[in-house]
A = this chain, B = another copy of it.
């Protein structure tokens, strides 16, 4: 009976207090037809020792490999302090701070997180996080529809240069909300939003324009022009950003000639979350102050206590589902609290200079990788133009086969784009973060050269 403290004497005495004969009697209101359950497919309980050994074996199977995949999840150094502190029981095993007096630790962390997010994005307000970057985009779309009262069309322009999974998630979550998602193609040369395709919507009723920066291809969009276009056409500008890139790139709050983006979302994973096979990560969402009451998710605010001391509380709860029920701004009630804690500690450890160095090293490493790889015959960049820390390369063979051969040599060479984009056969999206050494870059180049040579050799 793992984790159950009851002794036989406890059970006997407790049943006597209840006035029941057996524990099974406590279920006697339930239809007997429901009370005959077999769980044969579930293994017997194991000791922690047994499970430890099992999990170590399985983790060992998944170890190794130099990872050059990005595409929305990035390998970064995470200081040891981050998770040693984050998993302290007081953070790890607490719940939503419903009783603020007994939860100032969690609440202050979130307030600090919100402040850091505002600093990074240049926006006025941040929420306490959403599930991940993709679902945050969906929430941003719904929020934009609520916030843009002048627009009646519920039309959202979604460039193809946005992460394909994000576009799918946005559509799936908004599926029953009568949102009219319109695709905007990208420019074949630069891999950024095709201005002509966008201009087809000029003058129409557009609720929002989604602006990725960097975009899925790693390329830098002309965010000033896109933001201005949105505002000129009565649309809200929704930025989708990689927070790590913001150390080098213009803050969304300063995009365009006006007050910047209206809503900014992004994947928080680069800020302290391990890759971990896909999650948990967290979605960041910031906005301008005038939209704050349309913002989904939890928010923490500063408050005064009965002694007049500063402290922190959940605020703006009337927007939330436990009060507004079917009229809530969203059904979301959790945030990704533990990830926010990690991110806050992570950002504190990096500080502005650490973040800048990390981002610059990512950019420099990717440039160095691209240089090495494009020096190989038949390998070239697909798009020109500036990029942050990933870009698309064309290979002289099927990308899937090349990646498989690379993986056998211990190199995860990137993401093949053929499945996600027509016309991008034989291309891979590659990324080299600050975790890569010059030797790692060489290893990739050598492995790729060998793979291409083998492929080119007559059978």
Contacts and interface: CB of A to CB of B under 8 A. Distances in A.
Interface of A: 47-49, 52-53, 77, 79-80, 84, 87-88, 434-435
Contacts of A77: 47-49, 52
Closest 5 CB pairs of A and B: A49-B77, A48-B79, A49-B435, A88-B88, A48-B77
Given A47-B77, A49-B434, 10 more contacts: A48-B77, A48-B79, A48-B80, A49-B77, A49-B435, A52-B77, A52-B80, A53-B435, A84-B87, A88-B88
A250 to B, nearest CB: 27
A111 B47 CA distance: 30
A59 to B, nearest CB: 12
Contacts of A84: 87
A87 B80 CA distance: 13
Q: How many copies are assembled?
A: 2
A420 to B, nearest CB: 31
Nearest to A47: B77
Nearest to A52: B77
Nearest to A76: B49
Contacts of A47: 77
A87 to B, nearest CB: 7
A258 to B, nearest CB: 37
A48 B81 CA distance: 11
For A49, A80, A434, A435, the residue with the greatest tally of chain B CB atoms inside 10 Å of its CB is A49
A52 B80 CA distance: 9
A199 B80 CA distance: 59
Contacts of A435: 49, 53
12 contacts: A47-B77, A48-B77, A48-B79, A48-B80, A49-B77, A49-B434, A49-B435, A52-B77, A52-B80, A53-B435, A84-B87, A88-B88
A120 to B, nearest CB: 21
Contacts of A79: 48
